[in-house]
Amino acid sequence: MAYIVPVSSSYYFNSPVFSNRTSIKSKSSFVELPCRTFVRCPLVSKGSKTAGKQEIDYGDDEKRLAAVQQCTSKVELDISALEKQFSASDPQEIVDFALSNFGDEVAIAFSGAEDVVLLEYARRTGKPFRVFALDTGRLHPETYRFYEKASQYFKVSIEYQFPNAEEVEALVREKGLFSFYRDGHGECCGIRKVRPLKKKLSCLRAWITGQRKDQSPSTRSFVPTIQIDPTFEGKDGTKLFKFNPLANQSSEQVWSMIRALELPYNELHERGFVSIGCEPCTRPVLPNQHEREGRWWWEEATQKECGLHKGNLSSSGTEAKASQQVDALIKDEPIVVFARSDCPFCKQAKALLDALSIAYKLIEIDKVENGAELLEVLQKRTGQNTVPNIFISQKHIGGWTQLEQLYQKGLLRANSDRRVQLQN
């Protein structure tokens, strides 16, 4: 369980949520931390020499409740900063982070395939962990046997989620047992997988998946290690954290671990099955075929998601488009300012450029249709999660502070053709 602790300006926190010593500058902020975490916290008077520097264990529930009552505002986990921090991290670190920060409100989604390594990473943390699986009613017998074998091996009870029986009966009665070959897999997967998953996730604050970028170049090439789930909501309708520890791992790396540690695996892998789902929609792949060729082979490659990771279908295409848009802008324009219409620092940047009669391209991300995608691309490309985000002569210079510094040093002026010039 997480508890809220008060934060004052310039105090430091020691927590898995933040790297080492992270200064919280805003007075209008708070942070959620696991109850067992030691926190550098200003519970002592501000005049004290130890203010903000004393490690305090909140101890019993009464003290924790008192801490909660002192809280007046909130600092949410900075998802872009976390994604950057863990973008190249070992899967073990990511799983440990998830379990440390979300406790029993995070669970591993186990598909009965290569994602068995996630259970091993979780076991290695020494922390209790939850595992759930979607029983669609149409899985291979080998998959059911593997679930039981994994449950015994890792000494964990798998929480099975089932589809609504009435919905399944209605679908079969109206369209038969194999309507997906004719109408596409969307309807059947929606009933047997997506809705049960949605129900399960509504009881969690985070989930851990076995998604990898190499599983499907058409739909998973942009999968981050940590994200806010673009499709599902978490407990009480809150944002749902989604951890993809294997995102940067290859199939070869995953299997090297399975073999080296002699972990249990699905017998179907021995018969040419790589990506494993329901029996009617899964088949072995031939040598040199991509693993996703064994799933929904009668449909387009860009549609080979069952809906559990539906955000991949939109994000992969829209992010690529947004990235191309950013490339075109900074290539064709001498200076580009990505801003928000309500941002005071953006207004200062615009005022300075206007005063210098410097031509620039202004993109107000809150006024364009794909603003969120543009912002995400900029964050990943520059590491900056604030606006204004400014490019000059195709180079990223930073925000308002960096622009002002260039001006004060006399390095920024306008040419006669109203194009910007950076002096060396």
Question: Annotated catalytic sites, by residue?
Answer: 343, 346
Q: Is 334 helix (H, G, I), strand (E, B) or coil?
A: coil
**What gap in Å lies between CA 127 and CA 417, rounded to an integer?**
64
In this structure, what token pair is assigned to residue 403?
């622009």
CA 307 from chain centre, in angstroms, equals 16
In this structure, what token pair is assigned to residue 171?
């679908």
Length of the chain: 424
How does DSSP classify residue 191? I
Q: Where are the alpha helices (DSSP H) in 356-422?
A: 371-382, 400-408
- The sign of the torsion formed by the CA atoms of 344, 346, 348, 354 equals negative
Q: Is there a contact between 350 and 339 (Cβ–Cβ < 8 Å)? A: yes
Amino acid at 121: Y
**What gap in Å lies between CA 27 and CA 393, rounded to an integer?**
37
**What gap in Å lies between CA 131 and CA 207, rounded to an integer?**
10
Q: Which residue's entry shows tokens 């009965």? A: 112
Binning the chain into helix, strand and coil, the percentages to the nearest 5 are 40, 20, 40
Amino acid at 131: V
